[in-house]
A and B are shown apart, each in its own frame.
Chain A
Amino acid sequence: MKNLKSIVLLLALIIKVEAFANFINAKVKVTGITCSMCSNSVNKALSSLTFVDKIEVDLEKAIFTISFKPNQTVNIDEIKNKIEGAGFSVGELIADFKFENVSITNDFHYQFQNSTYHFVNVKNQKLNDIVAVKFVDKGLTSTKEFKKYTTLTTFKCIKTGTTEACCNSNTKQRIYHITI
């Protein structure tokens, strides 16, 4: 009985630790930007996202480093939508993600906060601590990069960004494609 309690406690702890795994920040390169007024529009739009804590902007390179509030669900698509709403596009999005002992293989589908993250073109490895992951979905990277990654996996979900027959899932949901 005591053992069972310990196991439950331990499980709860693991789950809790797992829940703490999170996005820390994202570096977004915005393309099409020509002026500081444009960067300001993007900055204001991104600031309105509830999960955004603060934003640092490299105006010269048009790179926005977005820090996220801890324990809040980060929605990468909303970042993309805000940038597109301001009139620009995402050229590259690299996020720092804190992993807690996650073993990955190529094409591994990682479930996290109601979304699935599909590792593309990666080696088998165990992820611990902060890892920079690059998003390779359409609209989250350059068209050239997106096309390149579609050839690096046989999974069809990379083309649509949602669950396909390849994903062994009955529900249609967003699948982000990331690489390391």
Chain B
Amino acid sequence: MRSIDVAPNSERKVMDVSSGAPTPSGQTALPAKMVAKNVDAFFGKTQALRSVSLEVAANRVLAIIGPSGCGKSTFLRCLNRMHEVAGGTMKGTVLLDGESIMDIDAVNLRRRVGMVFQKPNPFPTMSIFDNVAAGLRFNGHHNHKLLAEVVERCLRQAALWDEVKDSLGKSGMSISGGQQQRLCIARTLAVNPEVVLMDEPASALDPLSTAKIEELIYELKANYTIAIVTHNMQQAARVSDMTAFFYLGELIEIGETKRIFTTPDKRQTEDYITGRFG
């Protein structure tokens, strides 16, 4: 299940481009937590994804990169059926631990596959405490002791506890943008998901907050499987074990991050990561 044996090279935070031979295979030896097979996604008649197949390895960070409009966010939203909330439709198969997500009730699925959005979106009418507790509270947990424990654990995991422990009763909107985003991460962790999807979680934040979020992502993969969409290639290189490159709704290439950033197989990938992309 959740193996925590981390390969030594993924221990390194910043990719070392100069060292190491590229691994020949793009696929990982770890068990796949989520598998996408021939996923097509539509908004009305517009096709946003074309036959995307990839695996998200357990306890690893998968970064999804690509230019705007390439379908990377749409793909992420297919993984927890948020795509249909926005009125889209999906074809193909997505498996979570081998079970099709369409066979899992959407609400239950989203408790197992959580999501953090681009713009921090704490619930504006709730305190910091209530924001983190919301997922449990609205699902019938009212034991205050239990809630307080979970809130503290999740805020610690999100590296926010020390900054807000004296102001848990204050509005979730009263803290800074970076803190709000970490609050949203804590809120997501509170329902104890297995997979955490992040849709450009740091794109609205300053560099310092971004560094904190990246550090956090790195720590979270011990307990969670993570897929992160990012515009920032340095970020993908820093935080991820695997990288997938999307272009015009198609998966062009997926492989170990180090290999994708040093010796990609496809010309398009190389052009994009070297900034030659038109």
Same complex for A and B? Answer no
Q: B residues near A, CB below 8 A?
A: none
